[in-house]
Amino acid sequence: MNTGNDTLKNDPQFFYGPLLSVKFNDDFNLTFVYLYANYDLEYFNEMKRYDSDLALNYRLNDYLKIFAGIKYLGFKLPSSDIETYGYGPGLGLNATFPIADNLFLLGTLSGFYLWGKTKQSGQDEKDKTYGINSTLSIAYYIAPASTVISLGGRFQYYKQVADEGGQEFKHKFYGITLSATYSFNI
């Protein structure tokens, strides 16, 4: 993917999608997050962006959790026939701090390493991607519905390196997140 610039930037965007958390016991839970955005990018008319995580979380104490899992990241640029995707492991830390009654401050920091492929004009090029995710949001727990509604921001930075030729592209994405997480015990 050649844009004439090695850093792709965009304006803040609204990501949306489901989040699911399954609690196994007081220390372990499984989370699934899928985020989607459709927006204009600096050098292209339209971009469809997909970002998904499946992670096993372990509670260190009342405020901190560590997690490890699998990440899928991809985007399509329909106007230029470019599609890229990658999947691989992720590792991170999640913090939850009570503000008042059912109101909380949530923060996450994680890193990932992905193996992927970029398709352009009928050609496939393998690549590797590594980077970070960070989120900060305010959340409200609706106890009768076992649901957390959160509003916040997300920043993601990653570098994509082609296996052949070593061409690099740096990507920066940031935007507003709004989520509803339904939690239940099994």
On whether the CB atoms of residues 52 and 37 are closer than 8 A, the answer is: no
Asked if residue 3 is part of any domain, the answer here is no
CATH number at residue 161: 2.40.128.100
Mean pLDDT over the full length of the chain = 86
β-bridge mates for residue 19, sequence order: 33, 181
Residue 41 has pLDDT above 70, yes or no: no
Q: Considering its fold, how many domains does the chain have in total? A: 1
Instruction: Decide which of 98 and 33 is more confident.
Output: 98
Give per-residue burial for 68-77: e unless 16+ CB within 10 Å, then b.
ebebbbbbbb
Asked if residue 87 is part of any domain, the answer here is yes
Asked if residue 167 is part of any domain, the answer here is yes
Lowest mean pLDDT among 54-68, 73-87, 142-156: 73-87
Residue 30 has pLDDT above 90, yes or no: yes
Residue 122 has pLDDT above 70, yes or no: yes
Instruction: Decide which of 178 and 151 is more confident.
Output: 151
Asked if residue 95 is part of any domain, the answer here is yes
Asked if residue 149 is part of any domain, the answer here is yes
Calpha distance 144→65 (Å, rounded)? 24
Asked if residue 1 is part of any domain, the answer here is no
The band of 21, judged by pLDDT with boundaries at 50, 70 and 90, is confident
Asked if residue 61 is part of any domain, the answer here is yes
What is the reported pLDDT for 158? 93
Residue 11 has pLDDT above 80, yes or no: no
Residue 138 has pLDDT above 70, yes or no: yes
Residue type (1 letter), 129: T
Average pLDDT value for residue range 164-179:
82
Give the domain extent around 85: 8-185
Calpha distance 160→147 (Å, rounded)? 36
The band of 35, judged by pLDDT with boundaries at 50, 70 and 90, is confident
The band of 46, judged by pLDDT with boundaries at 50, 70 and 90, is confident
Question: For residue range 67-116, what is the model confidence (pLDDT) as tens digits?
Answer: 999 999 998 887 778 899 999 999 999 999 999 999 999 999 999 999 99
Q: For 12, phi and psi rounded to 5 degrees?
A: -55, 145
The band of 5, judged by pLDDT with boundaries at 50, 70 and 90, is very low
Residue 61 has pLDDT above 90, yes or no: yes
Asked if residue 2 is part of any domain, the answer here is no
Cβ contacts of residue 83 below 8 Å, gap of 6+? Answer: 74, 75, 76, 77, 118, 119, 120
